[in-house]
Structure 1
Amino acid sequence: MKTDHHASKTVITFGTFDVFHIGHLNILQRASTLGGRLVVGISSDALNIEKKQRAPVYSQQERMAIVSQIKGVSEVFLEESLEAKAGYLRQYQAQILVMGDDWKGRFDHFSDLCEVVYFARTPSVSTTSIIEVVKAIT
């Protein structure tokens, strides 16, 4: 049960959320327990190509539609630049930034804007590994 103190907090997280899987669901559900409002920045197709050197399987519109329907998610927006994260934190008045622990330490410099929390990733699941398995069996 969320306390009133929790209910007033805005939590934000960022990701590609391509080929939606249990790891994605776990981080969104856990993040939503930290506050009353969960805002999710979905990496744009162009940003994903820049970060991972490949286009996402699902388009940014499809990924935004999927994540927006997850229980606990209050709002989604398109993250178009990694350099704009501080601006997104301010724009959405985030009190807590949640990221997977594969990013541990990489967002600590935002601790002057909000609390930074890293959650352990769900073991043995990633979009990249799912795509590799699918490629191998087709």
Structure 2
Amino acid sequence: MFFLLMSLAFAEPLITKVEQGDKVPFDGRLFNDEAVSTVLADSEASVQQCEIRKDLEWKTQMAELQYQHDVLGAKHEALEFRHSELMDIKDEEINLLRRHSSPRKTMWMFLGGFTAGTAASLATYYAVNQISEN
């Protein structure tokens, strides 16, 4: 039984042209020309449908990848813009802090304070002397 099934599995397909009333030399199915043309047309249509599906899938995947590429490009541009704006803000803040923290003219402040203190001391000494003389 097993060998019988194996021989069926490896049997060669037979195609023979027959006319009406002829005896067929093999068991199987007999197709007329219309049936054969239908089978061939269906086979060709299946191949074309497969090509169309393949092209559609390819174009869909390419469109999806292009979309992802465009999104990543837009994100990159936004991040570059944000980075440049942050750098500008930091530079402005650094310049502002430098202007406010620059050393003032401490020598002039020291001399002014010393002069004012000396003048106040002398005025106090003079006032005390005037009061004590009277």
> Do they fold alike, i.e. is TM over 0.5?
no
Alignment TM-score, normalising by the size of structure 1? 0.16
Richer in helix (by share): 2
Q: Which has the higher contact order (CA 8 A, sep 6+)?
A: 1
Alignment TM-score, normalising by the size of structure 2? 0.16
